[in-house]
Amino acid sequence: MQIAVIGAGSWGTAVSWLLGNNGHDVRLWAREPEIAEGINANRHNPTYMTDVVIPQRVFATPDIEQALAGSEAVVMVTPSIGVRPTAESMKPHLGSAVPIVVLSKGVENETFMLMTEVLEDVLGGRERVAGLSGPNHAEEVGKGIPSATVVAAHNEGVGRLFQDAFMTPTFRVYTNPDVVGVELCGASKNVIAVAAGMSDGLGYGDNTKATLMTRGLAEMSRLGKARGANPLTYMGLAGMGDLIATCTSRHSRNRGLGEHVANGGTVASFEQETNMVAEGAFSCVSVDELAHRAGLELPITHWVRAILHGGASISSASDALMGRQARDELHGMDLVAE
């Protein structure tokens, strides 16, 4: 197929490498003209994933109309805060039936929409929109290190189309009709990873991180249940799989943000130093608000938000979490799919 990849950061670079090597003709939209020029001239992204050799089948352009022209499918890889404005820029140049898969992980702060819902709101066509999520660090996917992921789509045919497009000997793709669950997993696990990074920054041990991850998964599952997600999705690649990778990996931006903050940094200084966006910095607000609207208590998420945006100290968060009232471990959870 001819596929447009919208976004030329680390993930966009890795996805372009994957799709180009899988026999597809890729047009990669880069917001910065110098990135597009560098890719076309030297076959390397000059800013992100600089060691990856980008296939000749990939053509980069700063012109979104040129990137979309003739495309049979679209892959969106912008930060979540950029999905709506980018989709609005795409709208005049995109056919009404072209399938779109979004790899961005987040919940829109103003509307509390998932990324697929934002695309549907701007571009129309619920049946043509899908989401892809899983334990997929760009730094590993772009080197052909064995990985797996999930494509969630309302339309089985669209799910299969993107499954076939992405599937390679080193990148295994599963499908799942639970779009809400897969997307909520992707957004909420980033918040837990920030907390895990704070634990690392404070020098806490494996016990602490394991506790944060498992109780974080409980929070994720409660929110998913309230939004009608399949609880079994949280046991799969988009849930537990991505949570493990994001909370433990040296590649994880969100874990790195938490460690950076624990050592005295801020969200702004992290972005300035890394030239990257940690989605958990935004998702902690929107996921916390979703919980409040559903009458749920997500204590880890609440405290990550309070630390990043409310001036709370990590020590006060630790004391509050460890001092919570004793509960049954499975309170508020339903582990049986209906």
Maximum separation of any 2 CA atoms in the chain, in Å: 61
Can you list the alpha helix ranges (DSSP code H) found in the chain?
A: 10-21, 33-42, 64-68, 83-90, 115-123, 138-141, 156-166, 179-201, 206-226, 242-248, 253-262, 267-274, 280-293, 299-310, 314-322
Please list the residues that pair with 73 across neighbouring strands. 3
Instruction: Give the pair of three-digit tokens for residue 5.
Output: 């990849």
Instruction: Give the pair of three-digit tokens for residue 83.
Output: 């999905």
CA distance 186 to 83: 15
> What DSSP line would sit under 222-254, residue for residue?
HHHHHTT--GGGGGSIIIIIHHHHHHH-TT-HH
User: What CA dihedral angle connects 43, 46, 50 and 53, to 10 degrees?
Assistant: 0
- Where in the sequence numbering do the catalytic residues fall? 189
Closest CA to 155 of 134, 119, 129: 129
Instruction: Give the pair of three-digit tokens for residue 128.
Output: 């043509």
Radius of gyration of the chain (CA): 19
Residue type, 87: A
Residue 210 burial (CB count, 10 A): 13
Phi–psi pair at 3, nearest 5 degrees: -125, 135
Torsion-angle region of 84 (φ positive above 0: left; ψ -120 to 50: alpha; else: beta): alpha
Contact between 333 and 221 under an 8 Å Cβ cutoff? The reply is yes
